[in-house]
Amino acid sequence: MAVQYRAPRGTQDVLPSQSYRWRFVEDLVTEVSALYGFRQIRFPTFEHTELFTRSVGDTTDVVQKEMYTFTVNGTERSITLRPEGTAGTMRAVLERGLLNEALPLKLSYLTSCFRYEKPQAGRLREFHQFGVEMLGSASPAADAEVIGVADEIFHTMGIKNLEIQLNSIGCPECRAKYHAALKAYFEGYKGQLCETCLTRLEKNPMRILDCKSPVCAEIAKDAPVMLDYLCDDCRVHFDGVKKRLDVMGIPYVINPKIVRGLDYYTKTVFEFVSNDLGAQSTVCGGGRYDGLIEQLGGAKTPGLGFAMGLERLLMIMDAQGIEIPKERACELYIANIGEEAGIKASALTNSLRREGFYVECDSVGRSLKAQMKYAGKIGARMSMVLGDDELAGGAAKVKNMATGEVRELKFEDLSDALYDLGVEDILAAIEEDQEER
């Protein structure tokens, strides 16, 4: 039968054979960030469009070309699927009064985002991000701490060959002078700039530095750099960030061309870049956005954060051969012959599951041969068969599916046997670790 419906272009299904990989990554990033005091926040899939045009910036590619925007039931109210996580987090912070809590406020999120762009490896129209946001500290120590969270996540995952690229894009005061210098530079190339960048030239010339057009990118290579225009305050702040990263043992390189793709950034911006992903080299990016809360109607509040794409995390782990622990296998399959044995199998299965073991029994009505074949397919580590004799004796033969070893156990001893199976795993892991050392 032909498949009637297919997933929309730019989306993907995460099947059970792969979902354990996602759970591993999601659990790890959440646990590491929690060690730094970041607590998880969840926010809606869609927001009022004005939230994104005001925060992300109406000169960015995200707002101009990539947002999924629609009106509500024939009204003039405009709604947009979230293209990133920071704006929704800031809206929730303001609406729910979270800035009244102890500062700095540290939040993290795991969320899906939506951008209409050409699907390619590591960049889908529905993608997933992990991010952190830190509000209430203007100190360069906060910048170093946020970069440190991302660095620790990659270190814990075992990801290597990442380069932290660092820049400062200044504050509104020094950026105004830089904009004037950029505009003067790009005015000499107006006949060569793409149509989008001609618009940016008038509204926000820094956006030209982020253009994907090869022609515009080539022109931008010789453009003035923001570091030459930093005011004293921004320069001191940037020096403070670098000094703290130095003492934390976190290496970095200065890349004066980093501007990031969203307009709310100020001062520190950074990216974690890999050479193992081809053109899609950025696996994490972020920076400071000291004016964002005020821009959205709140009191002046410094802030910063980062986001990393989970799809790209998994890609780089694959590229580097990093093995993700397999999901837990079935520890015992209880096969049965006959109605009474089937009832007993259900009772034992339920009892052992309540003790925390992964146990299965037949729920389809298969023959004994088919049941054992199924036990092999799901990778059951032990199996047993219940029939009239086993019911009468209160015991059954349990087979280790890997070694073929068989031993008879009373029903009440099954949990001890399953516990011992787990202990064997621990001992085997210790032995393997010792061999590697």
SS3 for the chain is CCCCCCCCCCCCCCCHHHHHHHHHHHHHHHHHHHHCCCEECCCCCEEEHHHHHHHCCCCCHHHHHHCCEEECCCCCCEEEECCCCHHHHHHHHHHCCHHHCCCCEEEEEEEEEECCCCCECCECCEEEEEEEEEECCCCHHHHHHHHHHHHHHHHHHCCCCEEEEEEECCCHHHHHHHHHHHHHHHHCCCCCCCHHHHHHHHHCHHHHHHCCCHHHHHHHCCCCCHHHHCCHHHHHHHHHHHHHHHHCCCCCEECCCCCCCCCCCEEEEEEEEECCCCCCCEEEEEEECCCHHHHCCCCCCCEEEEEEEHHHHHHHHHHCCCCCCCCCCCCEEEEECCHHHHHHHHHHHHHHHHCCCCEEECCCCCCHHHHHHHHHHCCCCEEEEECHHHHHHCEEEEEECCCCCEEEEEHHHHHHHHHHHHHHHHHHHHHHHHHHC
- Angle, CA 221 vertex, CA 219 and CA 223 arms, to 5°: 80
Domain boundary assignment for the chain: 16-171+231-319, 332-423
pLDDT at 322: 94
- Looking at residue 430, what is its pLDDT? 47
The confidence score (pLDDT) of residue 436 equals 53
Domains 16-171+231-319 and 332-423 share a fold: no
CATH of domain 16-171+231-319: 3.30.930.10
Tell which CATH architecture fits domain 332-423.
3-Layer(aba) Sandwich (3.40)
pLDDT tens for the 437 residues of the chain, in order = 678 889 999 999 999 999 999 999 999 999 999 999 999 999 999 999 999 988 887 667 777 778 989 998 878 899 999 999 999 999 999 999 999 999 999 999 999 999 998 887 777 999 999 999 999 999 999 999 999 999 999 999 999 999 999 999 999 899 889 989 989 999 988 889 998 888 888 888 888 887 878 899 899 889 999 999 999 999 999 999 999 999 999 999 999 988 876 678 899 999 999 988 766 588 999 999 999 999 999 999 999 999 999 999 999 999 999 999 888 899 999 999 999 999 999 999 999 999 999 999 999 999 999 999 999 999 999 999 999 999 999 999 999 998 899 999 999 999 988 888 775 665 555 455 555 54
Question: Cα separation of 108 and 129, whole Å?
Answer: 10
Single-letter amino acid, residue 369:
K
Note the pLDDT of residue 35.
Answer: 97
Opening angle at CA 19, ends 15 and 21, nearest 5: 135
Strand 359-361 vs strand 332-336: parallel, antiparallel, or unpaired? parallel
Structure tokens at 358: 């992964």
